Structure 1
Amino acid sequence: MTSAYLVLDLQNDLVHDDGASGKGPLGEAVRSRRIIENTNKVIAKARAAGAPVIFVRVGFSEDYRECSSTSPMFSGLRKAGLMKLGSFGTEIHPDLERRPEDVLITKHRVSPFYGTELEVILRAKKISRVVASGVSTPAVVQACIREAHDRDYECVVVEDACAAPGAIEHDESIAVLKRFAAVSTADEVSFA
């Protein structure tokens, strides 16, 4: 079975101490749960097994042409100047071990599959198993796992490499995700 590791939305606007959300409850959860450190553990395991590492970020053009004005989640981004491609906010957190050979997917919605080349890349690499983690658990992690499940990938969520603005949100999301995926930890997950 060929696996890939999807690192979801660990970009500066969301998780960096100086990012817009990094200064709030989500950033605090990322720090207290050691999300960056745990993600790096999983990246190292994926690399050791020869599994591709795929970074996913959300970002919009300078004029926000891809940004939905009807989305409660995205409609305020233009006004706030957040998630603009080419800015600090859409860069992957600098403490993550990203390499030139890693794939970078830019998405304009919650799901990393919607309107992106993600599935084309997974199919080209003959991936049948998706290991995923990131922020936030009730948004991109759930969207990713549900879509991967429905596209017939075997799915694994690395629980201690995921976070949400609140512990209850995170725990409830993990409980739901157990219907679609195996749940593991950074220490236990395997790419063999």
Structure 2
Amino acid sequence: MTDPYLAPALVISECQRGILHPGLSVSSGLAEEVAARGIVGRTAALAREFRNRGLPVVHCIIEHRADQAGMLPNSYLGAMALRTRSLTVGTPDVEIPSELGPEPGDIVSSRATGVTAFYGTDLDAMLRLQGVRTVVLAGVSTNVALPGLATEAVNRGYHVVLAEDCTAGTSAQAHAAMLENLIGALARITPSEDIAARLPRQ
């Protein structure tokens, strides 16, 4: 059986002020869960472990165009983004918390539209060029972005590991339900300390 930690990269999903900050987020429940679960600090610690071993750290962020080109109100998230003009390129909304980086060697993958990190980005190409075989997921949310990211990663042949204590959903109940009913079928769900202990050195 292939080692699920072979050639890993840490992929941090949508950890941005406009999503995490209680006063800015379009989902107050998600922002509250992020704070309650302390995911930023644990994700920062896990990112340091990856960097110390010479392993890739990738930040997947949303940066909508100022003219909103390519955005459609064909989902609740799309409609809310259009109405609130949130996560627009060049605004404080899109900033990554300083604890997380990005550090000079990190990769930042930005998308202007869509709801998952592989859509319309160079994420897959960048991972393959780094020789990545396993994506370790952290960030938000376990409602939409992370299950979507896990699905697309599996479709592309990657192993997927979810750092459970580095993730959050819009509520504790939603988080648990998504892990049990969807993400658990796609990814190995593991605490971040266990992941750090298994990491190879590049």
Distance in structure 2 (CA, Å) of the matches to 1:71 and 1:65: 16
* Same amino acid, percent of matched pairs: 24
Offset, 1:77: 1.5
Report the counterpart of residue 46 of structure 2 in structure 1: 42
The AA in structure 2 aligned to 1:187 is: E
| Aligned counterparts, 1:10-159, within 5 A | 10-21=15-26, 24-107=28-111, 108-159=113-164
Measure the CA separation in 1 of the matches of 2:17 and 2:26.
9
Query: Would the aligned equivalents of 2:26 and 2:80 in 1 still touch at CA under 8 Å?
Result: no
Aligned to 2:3: none
Say if 1:10 and 1:135, in contact at 8 Å, map to a contact too: yes
Which letter maps to 1:178?
A: G
Q: 1:181 to 1:20 in 2, by over 3 A?
A: closer
Q: What do residues 68-122 of structure 1 show as CA deviations (whole Å, max 9, x unaligned)? A: 2322211221221211011011111233232122111112211111110000101
Say if 1:77 and 1:15 are closer, same or farther in 2 by CA, change over 3 A.
same
Q: TM-score, normalised by structure 2?
A: 0.90
For 1:166 and 1:122, the matched residues in 2 are separated by 31
Please tell me whether residue 186 in structure 1 is matched to residue 192 in structure 2.
yes
Instruction: Check conservation: 1:13, 1:83, Cα contact below 8 A.
Output: yes
| Alpha-carbon contact 1:164-1:170 (below 8 Å) kept | yes
Q: Which runs of 4+ in 1 moved over 6 A?
A: none
Q: Report if aligned partners of 1:113, 1:147 keep a CA contact under 8 Å in 2.
A: yes
5+ residue gaps, structure 2, are: 1-5
Contact in 2 for aligned 1:58/1:109 (Cα 8 Å): no
Deviation at 1:19, TM superposition (A): 2.1
* Per-residue deviation, 1:25: 1.5
Aligned length: 191
Structure 1 runs not aligned, ≥5 long: none
Query: Tell me, what secondary structure is at the counterpart of 1:183?
Result: strand
Distance 2:83 2:186 in 1: 36
